[in-house]
Amino acid sequence: MAAKHKIINGSVFQEEGSFIQDTLYMCDERIVSREEYEAAPGEESVTDASGCYIIPGLTDIHFHGCMGSDCCDGTAEDFATIARYELRQGVTSITPATMTMSEEVLSGISEAVRDFSCPDGADLVGLYMEGPFINMAKKGAQNGKYIHQADTAMLDRLQKLSGNKFLSVVVAPETEGALDFISENSGKINISIAHTTADYETAKEAIARGASQLTHTFNAMPPFTHRAPGPIGAAADDDHCMAELICDGIHIHPAVVRTTFKIFGDDRIILISDSMRATGMEDGEYDLGGQKVIVRGNLATLEDGTIAGSATNLMDCVRTAVKEMGIPLTSAIKCAAVNPARAVGIIKDYGTLAPGKYANVVILDQQLDTKHIFRHGTPVTD
Please write the tens of the pLDDT for every residue from 151-194.
999 999 999 999 999 999 999 999 999 999 999 999 999 999 99
Helical ranges in 310-358 per DSSP H: 314-323, 329-333, 339-343
pLDDT at 289: 64
User: Is the Cα dihedral 195, 334, 88, 81 positive or negative?
Assistant: negative
By CB neighbour count within 10 A (0-12 exposed, 13-18 middle, 19+ buried), where does 24 fall? buried
Rounded mean pLDDT of 127-132? 96
Using an 8 Å Cβ cutoff, are 132 and 114 in contact?
Answer: no
DSSP per position, 210-244: T--EESSTTTTS----SS--HHHHHHHH-TT-EEE
pTM: 0.95
Q: Which has the higher per-residue pLDDT, 101 or 1?
A: 101
Rounded mean pLDDT of 28-48? 95
pLDDT at 51: 97
Q: How many CB atoms lie within 10 A of CB 121?
A: 22
DSSP per position, 50-108: TT-EEEEPEEE-S--EETTEEGGG--HHHHHHHHHHHHHTTEEEE--EE-S--HHHHHH
Rounded mean pLDDT of 193-216? 98
- In this predicted structure, the answer to whether residue 222 has a pLDDT above a threshold of 90 is yes
Using an 8 Å Cβ cutoff, are 169 and 194 in contact?
Answer: no
- In this predicted structure, the answer to whether residue 308 has a pLDDT above a threshold of 70 is no
Average pLDDT of every residue of the chain: 95
- In this predicted structure, the answer to whether residue 99 has a pLDDT above a threshold of 90 is yes
Q: Please, what is the Cα angle at 55 between 53 and 59, to 5 degrees? A: 145
The pLDDT tens digits for 268-278 are 999 999 998 88
pLDDT at 285: 80
Domains of the chain: 4-55+356-379 (2.30.40.10), 58-343 (3.20.20.140)
Which helix H or strand E contains 205, and what residues bound it?
helix 200-209
Cα end-to-end span (Å), the chain? 27
pLDDT at 167: 98
Rounded Cα distance, 168 and 189, in Å: 6
Rounded Cα distance, 335 and 327, in Å: 11
**Window from 81-85, 257-261, 300-304, 360-364 with minimum mean pLDDT:** 300-304
